[in-house]
Amino acid sequence: MYHFLNDYSESAHPDIIAALHDSHKQQHKGYGFDEFSEKVRNSIKQKIGNPDIAVHFGITGTQANLVCIDAMLASIDGIIACDTGHIAVNEAGAIEATGHKVIIAPSTNGKLTIDALEKVRLRHSFAPHVVRSRAVYISNTTELGTVYNYDELKAISDYCREHDMYLFMDGARLGAAIASSHDDPNQRNLTLADFAELTDIFWFGGTKMGAMFGEILIIPNQKIAKDFNIYLKQHGGLLAKGYLMALQFDVLLKNDKYLELCRHANTMARQISQSLVDAGHKLFVATESNQVFAVLPQTLIQFLKTKFEFYEWEVLNDEFSIVRLVTSWATDPKQVTRFVEMVKEQAKI
Amino acid sequence: MYHFLNDYSESAHPDIIAALHDSHKQQHKGYGFDEFSEKVRNSIKQKIGNPDIAVHFGITGTQANLVCIDAMLASIDGIIACDTGHIAVNEAGAIEATGHKVIIAPSTNGKLTIDALEKVRLRHSFAPHVVRSRAVYISNTTELGTVYNYDELKAISDYCREHDMYLFMDGARLGAAIASSHDDPNQRNLTLADFAELTDIFWFGGTKMGAMFGEILIIPNQKIAKDFNIYLKQHGGLLAKGYLMALQFDVLLKNDKYLELCRHANTMARQISQSLVDAGHKLFVATESNQVFAVLPQTLIQFLKTKFEFYEWEVLNDEFSIVRLVTSWATDPKQVTRFVEMVKEQAKI
Amino acid sequence: MYHFLNDYSESAHPDIIAALHDSHKQQHKGYGFDEFSEKVRNSIKQKIGNPDIAVHFGITGTQANLVCIDAMLASIDGIIACDTGHIAVNEAGAIEATGHKVIIAPSTNGKLTIDALEKVRLRHSFAPHVVRSRAVYISNTTELGTVYNYDELKAISDYCREHDMYLFMDGARLGAAIASSHDDPNQRNLTLADFAELTDIFWFGGTKMGAMFGEILIIPNQKIAKDFNIYLKQHGGLLAKGYLMALQFDVLLKNDKYLELCRHANTMARQISQSLVDAGHKLFVATESNQVFAVLPQTLIQFLKTKFEFYEWEVLNDEFSIVRLVTSWATDPKQVTRFVEMVKEQAKI
Amino acid sequence: MYHFLNDYSESAHPDIIAALHDSHKQQHKGYGFDEFSEKVRNSIKQKIGNPDIAVHFGITGTQANLVCIDAMLASIDGIIACDTGHIAVNEAGAIEATGHKVIIAPSTNGKLTIDALEKVRLRHSFAPHVVRSRAVYISNTTELGTVYNYDELKAISDYCREHDMYLFMDGARLGAAIASSHDDPNQRNLTLADFAELTDIFWFGGTKMGAMFGEILIIPNQKIAKDFNIYLKQHGGLLAKGYLMALQFDVLLKNDKYLELCRHANTMARQISQSLVDAGHKLFVATESNQVFAVLPQTLIQFLKTKFEFYEWEVLNDEFSIVRLVTSWATDPKQVTRFVEMVKEQAKI
């Protein structure tokens, strides 16, 4: 059995384990005051071209989201997210537990549209009876694996600035989004500098692109950056051995190693997706990164499940379900080939 | 330069890195539903002799504390801790951020006494004007490196049960406490089963005994155990690659490897402590584990600082300061010998 | 100018002011430990036929809602409400500020249906990634002035018990709901005993039926009742002069004075509503209590606004808007007659 | 039996009840947008001499405290209070429930000293491991009835500004403090303008000087003032019939009626206090306002308790206790005379 359940099933890229081994006898300063952390912070600042930008490290995605949002909002503020956004349902009330309302807007292909944004913002404008709509949350790639391109991001960013709202981007799979833009000849290549220009705060996730854990939190907006470290500490997000996260990103950033790993994941997903389309199946949304959402008949699902594990996302009816197939930096191309063969085989029947 | 600043300056014991390397191509289930986690949970249950006990994993110490306390308390409940307790000052308001008051009692050698406990409990008994004193927090070893022995724990446990309060033990350095009891012929050896008998919830920290990160959270009280996983998730404490923590504890628990590592740390501290006493200096508290608190003259401090880094804990006056020296599983015995030599050398002058 | 903006524009029924005057030289115990409070608590217990039921007093509606919900839920719990529910949008994030997610379901005529309930409950069933759906919020009358009858309440109550969820009823206008059932020959008369049978906690609002302020909080479920007073105190809801609320309810409960006052309000609304229907206008929802929601042409709206103030609830298009007209215990019948005349007059044109 | 238990045992001054009666048929705008509220806001602005100052209304003292503190602080901020401060113990964790740590300093005669302030501030200066000490809480009069004079307030205010901390003053008994300064020939008369000059936010309590309930919240600091109304709403502190609070303050502010009432209360306390001193008893603290704290023998306590109720504040030993005697605007001079006679009578024995 091989599985396409998620992109966090393998522990870490061997280069990271090697780097860990090489440094394990060194004494490091704690809590991010070490030299590895300093090096990675500088590397990010250089890539963005702004030496004043604040750079921190977070441990898990839920934590990165709750800390960033708590640092951004006053008690009376809410944050708008679309209904497929990770903070809308799947974080066990983590945002509300910090006292903030998540204001939910309908989504289109996993994305927040300006139109949906405008509607919920207007609905929440009768002060003092409503929370202030003070921030907007998006994730890139989205929960459905779709990618916001530069123009879409620019439109949301402009809207937020016009209405005095912060824009926050969850980057659990930001590497996959960047890689996607690099492989799409119709899109401008997305860069960290773009996100720094357009958002007030965003994060760049390591877990899903080859690290054991860890995310880089990048804060272009100086108002949010102030004393951010205390927000991390207060929510249990300051790792004693903080150098561990920096050490991993040092490997991933060197020669844009992360981009190579993410392109691999996206390529694997594209092969799976293409095989399904070729066999006459419909996708639920276009495959733009390392997640495939397809509408498959139960017969095919059951056949594939004899060799592969993956999620049935939603049962549509007795005959069809939406399935989710996720690839990663570690996905074995031979297994993808085996999967593609099975799809073809079933198509012949 | 070598430092005795803390016990988290080296990343991980080489056995752990080896285990990580060995398993890095395997696909694991996410969020603690993997086989490593299952194995460690069973191992803990076996050591305690209770198959029904709940066992979870936390990532950082502050997070372990805030999640355990939040899971234990209702909104109207406070938790009593002594003034040197980690949650009293040094967690950036993490407990209060979950809505709970930390009720502070004076400490004796870093410990909470029954007498101090009784006084603050009585002070908080005028309902509905005060929070309910619903739980008691202790850490073992304490922040001053002292160790609660079985009788002291039993007395606090009995007091808590008599007054319908939960007992929660922070085990950031629980390995050091267990090791200390093993090396003290006057004390009964402390075991995980003892803590399970006497507390309602406690944790057993990996970070300070050779793991990269991770703590095992053990919950004897079934009322607190219910849906504990959601508390972890809500506070960002559920690691996608949860198997990483289990994998590390698997190494540390095998043949009580952790005990060997902690005994080493304690031995190193004892050597440092003894050298100071032999040279005529006073300890601030007795050295019972891997932390030495000593009252040293500035002349000695400055001399030692030419070769070693450590914290000046508190400036007492122009001449004397309390210093803290911390050893770990990774402390190099040669460096300790060098330190001891310097103490002797200065004593001769 | 006369207004139908709301049901809290007049301070208090004269009988209440008289009772206040009569007792103002007496010394009362503070914080609800006085004789008036005891008398009202007993009166409620008697009406319900349960001497063990817990009875408290709250000051404002938002506060009653947030205190009841906080007392009912653990940190990891959310509460389901329909999208028109007061806690869904119009309480400035009060529930989220206590750390709890409000899970929003679509509404039908201002009501929560079993079908909508089932859907959102299922959507929130993937522990540990989601909050527990631990309670259901309804208001009676609803925000649209519609009334849950006994059968509807019973169905929701049964559903909640089947799925281990608490049922909480916001009774800001519960008097109006009871009065409505008394005036509807097709419905069984609703009583406090019914609500005590079907819900776990509910409140009975004074503000909108002639009191200056104050709501009675009634808690049939003993688990929620424990130490409820501390929840009130913690959220600033324990009035030093608590006897003030009891004194007012003493007047309103005597000979069911409140019912007489609420029937008056409902009658006034029915006259307004009927006049609009008679003139050929459409209602947005049926008028079942003291709120009228009607779809009116701008011409009529502008004409009426020369003499009356009321809210344009929603602009539908250039020609039509939904308006809200609210009556109260203090509504002057002559003003209603004047309003009805204007509607007739405009109809003739 | 007559009691000196507190200053909130009588409902309201008859002038207030009369004003309530006179206006009860008028229709008012809700939520503080009415003409009474506007009038009182203007009156306060005029007294202070600043038309830009923000003026709001709160309902209870605990609520005023929690709303002001929540509006002032970010999530990572704590507030310093002395150990006798009302928020330190007696508000059921209300401040912590909004997520903020109350940092406790030792008190001197119920007051916070600069020395105590400096010590706790330094103790909380190791970022990111501690909360930011962002505000200071004092109450005037203090919980022990002592009064901060202008110079003491100025010193604390200067200290706060020097260290970038807000100063917040709880004015549950601010009328009594103002009255005290007027009757003390050695002190400069305190005014609302003084408090506006020296603090960032303070409140002026109505409940304990003749109102049924209600406090005026005054915010000199524009940063805290922004959208303050939403904080009130979020914590259930926006009264639908907000005009009720304004109407009461309109009576109390007219010709400084409140000052006359508070002077009466203070005079009554002074007579009680003087009689105890004359009879040879010791005060626990000097009687500066409407609260008397005295160290009395059990024999006298038991004798007085045959006719009067009051609190035994603290049992010192078998023979002596500290008692608290509180007077108010409504205290009957004849009862005070009767009390004084009993003290004299017992002294003769």
The 10s digit of each residue's pLDDT in A78-114 is 999 999 999 999 999 999 999 999 999 999 999 999 9
Mean local confidence (pLDDT), D143-158: 98
Mutant choice from C96, C104, C121 vs A, greatest count of A C-beta within 10 A: C96
**Chain A residue with the nearest C-alpha to that of C100:** A96
> Which residue has tokens 């919950």?
B219
Closest CB from D78, D89, D91 relative to B93: D78
Q: What percent of chain A lies above the pLDDT cut of 90?
A: 99
- One-letter amino acid at C118 equals E
* Dist. CA C341–CA C331, nearest whole Å: 16
- Strand segments, DSSP code E, in D163-267 are 166-170, 201-205, 215-219
Give the pLDDT confidence score for residue A348 in this predicted structure: 81
Q: Is residue D183 very low, low, confident or very high in pLDDT (cuts 50, 70, 90)?
A: very high
Look at residue A335 in the predicted model and tell me its pLDDT: 98
Give me the residue label for tokens 């011409």: C299
Whether A64 sits inside 8 A of B236 (CB atoms) is: yes
From residue A37, how far is each of A27, A56, A244, C332, D300 by CA, in Å? 14, 9, 9, 72, 70
Residue of B nearest to A67 (CA): B236
3-state DSSP percent of chain B in helix, strand and coil, to 5: 45, 20, 35
Nearest to A231 among D31, D76, D232 (CB): D76
Nearest by CB to C128, which of B127, B131, B238?
Answer: B238
Q: What are phi and psi of C311, to 5 degrees?
A: -90, 135
Q: Of D89, D93, D95, D94, nearest to D107 (Cα)?
A: D89
User: Would the pLDDT of C349 be above 80?
Assistant: no
Cβ partners under 8 Å of residue B254, min gap 6? none
3-state secondary structure of D340: helix
Question: How far is it, in rounded angstroms, from Cα B13 to Cα B260?
Answer: 12
Nearby residues of A205 by Cβ (< 8 Å), 6 or more positions away:
A61, A64, A171, A172, A173, A174, A175, A215
Q: List, for residues A38-79, the tens digit of each pLDDT value.
A: 999 999 999 999 999 999 999 999 999 999 999 999 999 999
**Chains in touch with D (≥3 Cβ pairs < 8 A):** A, B, C
Q: Do B63 and A28 touch (CB under 8 A)?
A: no
Give per-10-residue mean pLDDT for chain B (349 aa): 96 97 95 97 98 97 98 98 96 97 98 98 93 98 98 98 98 98 94 98 98 98 97 97 97 98 98 98 98 98 98 96 98 98 90
Pick from C258, C256, C246, C203: nearest CA to C54: C203
DSSP state, D345? H
Neighbour subunits, C (≥3 Cβ pairs < 8 A): A, B, D
Query: Under an 8 A CB cutoff, do B93 and D131 touch?
Result: yes
DSSP single-letter state for residue A209: G
pLDDT at B348: 82
Find the mean pLDDT for residues D176-197.
96
pLDDT of residue C11: 96
pLDDT for residue D349: 73
Question: How far, in Å, CA of C39 to CA of B15, rounded?
Answer: 72
C-D CB pairs within 8 A amount to: 173
Judge: D76–B93 Cβ closer than 8 Å, yes or no.
yes
Cα distance between residue D77 and residue D94, in whole Å? 15
Instruction: Read off the amino acid at residue B68.
Output: C
Shortest alpha-carbon distance between residue D76 and chain A (Å): 6
Are D272 and D340 in contact by the 8 Å Cβ rule? The answer is yes
Which of A78, A92, A97 comes nearest C130 by C-beta? Answer: A92
What DSSP designation does C188 have?
Answer: P
The confidence band for D162, taking pLDDT boundaries of 50, 70 and 90, is very high
A239: chain B residues, CB-CB within 8 Å: 59-60, 213
Q: Do C230 and B132 touch (CB under 8 A)?
A: yes
Distance from CA of B348 to the nearest CA of A (A): 31
Residue C139 to residue B37: CA distance in whole angstroms: 45
Cross-chain CB nearest to C97 (options A99, A102, A130): A99
- Option in D11, D91, D234 nearest C94 (CB): D234
Residue A338 has pLDDT above 90, yes or no: yes
Chain C residues whose CB is inside 8 A of the D67 CB are 236
Give the minimum alpha-carbon distance from A96 to chain D in angstroms, rounded to a whole number: 13
Which residue out of B29, B31, B73, B76 would a mutagenesis test of the C interface target, given it has the greatest number of C Cβ atoms within 10 Å? B76
Helix, strand and coil content of chain A, in percent to the nearest 5, comes to: 45, 20, 35
Instruction: Give CA angle at A288 (A285, A293), nearest 5°.
Output: 35
ipTM above 0.90, yes or no: yes
Chain A residues whose beta carbon lies within 8 Å of the beta carbon of residue C101: 93, 96, 102
Q: In terms of Cα–Cα distance, which of B236, B176, B238 is closest to B205? A: B176
Cβ C126–A97 below 8 Å, yes or no? no
- pLDDT over threshold 90, residue A276: yes
Q: Identify the pLDDT of residue A15.
A: 98
Residue A61: how many CA atoms within 13 Å on its side-chain side?
27
Q: Is the pLDDT of residue C181 over 90?
A: yes
What per-residue confidence (pLDDT) applies to C21?
96
Which chains reach chain A with 3 or more Cβ–Cβ distances below 8 angstroms?
Answer: B, C, D
Q: Mind telling me how many Å the CA of B61 is from chain D's nearest CA?
A: 12
Give the closest residue to B199 by CA, choosing from B155, B236, B239.
B155
SS3 label, residue C68: helix
User: What does the block give as tokens for D151?
Assistant: 């110079």
Residues in D lying within 8 Å of B, measured between beta carbons: 75-76, 78, 89-93, 96-102, 104, 123-124, 126, 128-131
Interface test with C, best of D208, D234, D238, D311 (most C CBs within 10 A): D234
Cβ neighbour number for residue B46 with a 10 Å cutoff: 10
**Residues of B whose CB is below 8 A from D83:** none
Which chain D residues are Cβ-neighbours of C5 within 8 angstroms?
Answer: 29-30
Buried b / exposed e along C287-301 (16+ C-beta atoms within 10 A): bbbbbbbbbbeeebe
For chain A, give the mean pLDDT. 97
Closest C-alpha among A14, A214, A250 to residue B21: A14
Chain A residues within an 8 Å CB radius of C313: none
Cβ separation of B230 and C31 shorter than 8 Å?
no
User: Which chain B residues are Cβ-neighbours of A64 within 8 angstroms?
Assistant: 236
Are A233 and B62 inside 8 Å of each other by CB? yes
Q: Which residues contact B226 (CB under 8 A, 6 or more apart)?
A: none
Which residue in D158, D149, D139 sits closest to D64, CA to CA? D139
- Which is nearest to C26 in space by CA: B104, A29, D11? D11
| C14/D23 CB distance under 8 A | no
Q: What is the pLDDT of residues D313-347, one digit of tens each?
A: 999 999 999 999 999 999 999 999 999 999 999 98
Residues in chain A: 349
Report cis status (omega within 30 of 0) of the bond before C98.
no
Q: Is the dihedral of CA C163, C164, C170, C175 positive or negative?
A: positive
Residue for token digits 């003993």? C222
Amino acid identity, position B129: H
Q: Is D92 within 8 Å of B124 when comparing Cβ atoms? A: no
Distance from CA of A290 to the nearest CA of B (A): 17
- Going by pLDDT thresholds of 50, 70 and 90, the confidence category of residue A347 is confident
**D127 to chain A, minimum CA–CA distance in Å?**
7
Task: Classify burial at A283, counting beta carbons within 10 Å of its beta carbon; exposed 0-12, middle 13-18, buried 19 or more.
Answer: middle
Q: How far is B87 from chain D (nearest CA, A)?
A: 10
Q: Which residue of B has its CA nearest to D124?
A: B89
Q: Average pLDDT over chain D, rounded to whole? A: 97
Domains of chain C: 2-7+258-348 (3.90.1150.10), 14-256 (3.40.640.10)
Alpha carbon distance A225, A222 (integer Å): 5
CA distance A127 to chain D (A): 7
Which of C75, C93, C130 faces A97 most closely, judged by CB atoms?
A: C75
Per DSSP, the residues of D291-338 read EEEEEEEHHHHHHHTTTEE-EEEEE-SSSEEEEEEE--TT--HHHHHH
Contacts of D28 in chain C (CB under 8 A): 9-11
DSSP string, C255-308: GGHHHHHHHHHHHHHHHHHHHHHHTTPEESS---SSEEEEEEEHHHHHHHTTTE
| Partner-chain contact D126 B90, CB within 8 Å | yes
What separation in angstroms does the CA of D220 have from each of D50, D53, D54, D87, D192? 9, 5, 7, 22, 11
pLDDT band at A265 (very low <50, low <70, confident <90, very high): very high
Residue A297 has pLDDT above 80, yes or no: yes
DSSP strands (E only) in chain D: 2-3, 54-58, 77-82, 102-105, 132-139, 166-170, 201-205, 215-219, 282-283, 291-297, 308-309, 311-315, 320-326
* pLDDT band per the 50, 70, 90 thresholds, residue A291: very high
Q: Which of C2, C24, C230 sits opposite D92 (nearest CB)?
A: C230
> DSSP string spanning A87-104?
HHHTTTTHHHHTT-PEEE
Is residue A128 reached through a cis peptide bond, with omega within 30 degrees of 0 on the bond before it?
yes
Instruction: Look up residue B318 and give its DSSP letter.
Output: S
Given this model, what pLDDT does residue C347 score?
A: 85
| Confidence label for A321 from pLDDT (cuts 50, 70 and 90) | very high
Record the tokens describing residue B53, joined without a space: 């006990």
Question: Could you give the CA distance from residue B97 to residue B322 in angstroms, rounded to a whole number?
Answer: 32
User: pLDDT digits over C263-287, tens only?
Assistant: 999 999 999 999 999 999 999 999 9
| CB pair distance less than 8 Å for D236 and C29 | no
Residue of B nearest to A231 (CA): B92
pLDDT for residue C348: 81
Q: What would the mean pLDDT of C14-22 be, rounded to a whole number?
A: 97
* Predicted local confidence at residue A349, as pLDDT: 73
Q: In this predicted structure, what is the pLDDT of residue A241?
A: 97
Q: Which of B224, B231, B234 to mutate to test the interface with C (most CBs of C within 10 A)?
A: B234
Spell out which residues of chain C touch residue A98, defining contact as CB-CB under 8 Å. 99
d(CA C29, CA C20): 16
